[in-house]
Structure 1
Amino acid sequence: MTLHRVALPTGALELTIDASDFPLEALMGFAARDNAKRGFLFLSKVLGKHWPVKPSLMTTIHETLAAAVPAMPGPLVFIAMAETAIGLGQGVFEAWLRAHPGQDALFLHTSRYRVGDAPIIEFQEAHSHAPRQFLHLPAGDAERALLMHARALVLVDDEASTGNTFQNLADACRTLNPGIERVHLATITNFMGADATAALSERFGLPVTLGASASGRYSFAPGQFTPSGGEAQRFDPDADRGANAGFGRYGLQRALETPEALASLLAAQIGPRENVLVLGTGEFMHASYLLGAALERHGADVVVQSTTRSPILTWGAVSATLSFPDNYGEGIANFLYNVRRGQYDHVFICHETAPNAALFQLAGELDARLFHFLTETHIEEVSEIPVR
């Protein structure tokens, strides 16, 4: 057991680690949120969101969490939490599929965007800067049947601190499908504490298990910090934000295809001592990990991370901050952390939305190339970036 006391600009954090599969400093750092609801962040160094991560390390985390999923009655439905844990959840699902070939399972991820005409169910992530979350009901008959006849849920997020969001999502799914019998929570860190973790089954009203790479408990005493108050969500049910249904919002029963042709093309253009950043955008994360992993197999020195809507102070585990408009057209600020212009020899930005001014601005800031993923393997490079 180890105790960490951290004085943040937003307050005082105390964290006790009871168990960890990895050295804590390799797993996470401490950061301060620009958020009145929660002033601290356990910033993951293995997630591929706010910190650059080797794809092979991300794979290790995916496989570790997938291996902790207990034997449960099927079909299983894996649901990843937007936006931070979408890539993590999809990676855990695909690692589980590799270990359990032929078993029925469905992957979905929540979203903060409405896509197409599929019905949605809404639940709350109360502590988030953008609290409204949506789960699309699969449009395909087979995927819809899996969701409606699932007997177990695997809910994936980067961390568990209260369990409230997990419970809200589980309750929404059980209203839709009362036949759900078991829930497993998969997280990189679980800081609810041993007593709260042991009480999950009673709280949820059915058997609940939890697998995490690190566990412990925390307390936070807010300070006098005044958040900037920037808006992080402007949901319009009639707006088409350019989000793609084909990467997990409508459900997948299989792993995404790796963009091998693009990886081979790009690998041939990378010098032996050059470094590479593959950058996902917002909720579009897993495709960038797959491209990064393919480049790593080609021998490239590559890391993966993503842009985000989460406002975090430049302090602690955040050494650099870049702000730019969001490419989904909500008109809110988006951010990229721990990346500076000129830090990488190559930056490849992966996006699901059509090319737009926000993407051109981000690409110009990083001297990056834009790759528009229309499908897993139909990828178009945006060759014309306006000169600013």
Structure 2
Amino acid sequence: MSDAQVIRVELPTGLMELSTDAGAFSVDELMGFAARANVKRGFLFLSKVLGKHWPVRPAAMRQIHEHLAQQVPADLPGPLVFIAMAETAIGLGQGVFEAFKKAHPAVEALFVHTSRYHVGGAEIIEFSEAHSHAPRQFLHMPQDETLRLLLLNARSLVLVDDEASTGNTFLNLSQACRVLNSRIEHVHLCTITNFMGQAANQALSQRFGIPVSIAAALSGEYCFTPGQLESLPGAAQVFEAHADRGANAGFGRLGLDRPLSAPAGFAAKLAASFRANERVLVLGTGEFMHLPFLLGCALEARGVDVQVQSTTRSPILKWGAVSEAITFADNYGEGVANYIYNVTPGQYDQVLICHETPANAALLSTAQAVGGRLFHFLSETHIEEISVR
């Protein structure tokens, strides 16, 4: 158990004052502080257990998934729909869903994640993440009839993000879902950190118009006093309704009612090819995060020294919890700058770059920048290594 803390941090973009409650985890276990190149929000609670901007042991990620799944109220009216927020919390939400299904296999539950890409001809519902560097978010309607009915008949939403600071995005998404499905009668918010404060937490049900519960690994309240900041140039998001960005329809965008299968056979082949004591990084790309995590778990189970993280479109300054930053083109072809944080060339003996999009120049340049290998996941079990030479 951690003690309550009061923290004051001078960021290049302003002053952060944070008070936290006593809980199961300490601030330092879960997060660091970073500064964002974003005039809408100049700070970032940079998670050390999310597997996005910071390298994490798969076991530590799974511990958080299970901890948050255990806090989903047992008496929620079903069916349940778990929705993970793109891009940062896609892996977290899928991990929480799978941990919940493992503990409650008989409960009817659907997983779907939001996206910034449109796949196939599926109908999309748009909502806003106003403070984001890329504010437009989309939720796809499942094409499978059974999964579609789960969404349309759900009575509870479990909305998953890495942090809650205002609750606005959760509110926008829940309103969009309730327009689609008027049967929804409860919303549960699930986050690693919840810094909205006690008064805001108590006002959630009134604000949402239906009963709302919230659970986090760490809770408290923050105050950020912004300083001067100019945003980085360049577009953060380019959405063309019918552009094929190579996003896969089978990994969660169109809904799943089961856990994804870990690529155990593939992991066994990789592990057998590594030399003893090699340091391995499994690097997801953009919204493709959960299968890389499952690969990391499978490698870890075979004794491999492995960590997991992902590329991101979020511009973060090289300060605080960000010691290194590599910039490259995005592999989804939007022409939007992407980044890898806290990775230096030569830090790992093996860098396994996992991607859902077909191989392209952006992926090849990324592999060359970090000395990595490319692995194209066409499905859970069909994985092809792409030559980087």
Interval containing the TM-score (normalised by the shorter chain): over 0.9
Name the aligned partner's letter for residue 8 of structure 2.
Answer: R
Query: Is contact 2:330-2:336 (8 Å) kept?
Result: yes
From 114, 120, 123, the counterpart of 1:119: 123
From 182, 198, 205, the counterpart of 1:201: 205
CA distance in 1, matches of 2:82, 2:291: 18
User: Which stretch of the first structure deviates more once superposed, 343-352 or 268-277?
Assistant: 268-277
CA distance in 2, matches of 1:268, 1:23: 37
Determine if the alignment matches structure 1 residue 307 to structure 2 residue 286.
no
- SS at the partner of 1:327? coil
CA distance in 1, matches of 2:234, 2:201: 34
TM-score normalized with structure 1 length? 0.98
CA distance in 1, matches of 2:54, 2:279: 15
- Deviation of 1:199 after TM superposition, in Å, equals 0.6
User: Which stretch of the first structure deviates more once superposed, 131-140 or 230-239?
Assistant: 230-239
- Deviation of 1:19 after TM superposition, in Å, equals 2.8
The match for 2:78 is 74
The match for 1:331 is 335
- Deviation of 1:24 after TM superposition, in Å, equals 1.1
TM-score normalized with structure 2 length? 0.98
**Aligned-pair identity (%):** 66
The match for 2:224 is 220
Name the aligned partner's letter for residue 350 of structure 1.
Answer: C
Determine if the alignment matches structure 1 residue 12 to structure 2 residue 15.
yes
CA distance in 2, matches of 1:248, 1:224: 39
Determine if the alignment matches structure 1 residue 152 to structure 2 residue 153.
no
The match for 1:377 is 381
Aligned-residue CA RMSD (Å)? 0.7
Matching of residues 163-178 of structure 1 within 5 Å? 163-178=167-182
- Deviation of 1:227 after TM superposition, in Å, equals 2.2
Query: Is contact 1:200-1:208 (8 Å) kept?
Result: yes
The match for 2:42 is 39
- Deviation of 1:20 after TM superposition, in Å, equals 2.8
The match for 1:30 is 33
The match for 1:232 is 236
Name the aligned partner's letter for residue 179 of structure 1.
Answer: R
CA distance in 1, matches of 2:228, 2:83: 37
Structure 2 unpaired stretches of 5+: none
Determine if the alignment matches structure 1 residue 64 to structure 2 residue 98.
no
Query: Is contact 2:286-2:312 (8 Å) kept?
Result: yes
Structure 1 unpaired stretches of 5+: none
Q: How many residues align?
A: 385
CA distance in 2, matches of 1:210, 1:236: 35
Name the aligned partner's letter for residue 292 of structure 2.
Answer: S
Partner deviation per Cα, 1:7-61 (whole Å, 9 max, x = no partner): 0000111111123311211110000000010000000000000000000000000
Query: Is contact 2:125-2:138 (8 Å) kept?
Result: yes
- Deviation of 1:225 after TM superposition, in Å, equals 2.4
CA distance in 2, matches of 1:210, 1:119: 29
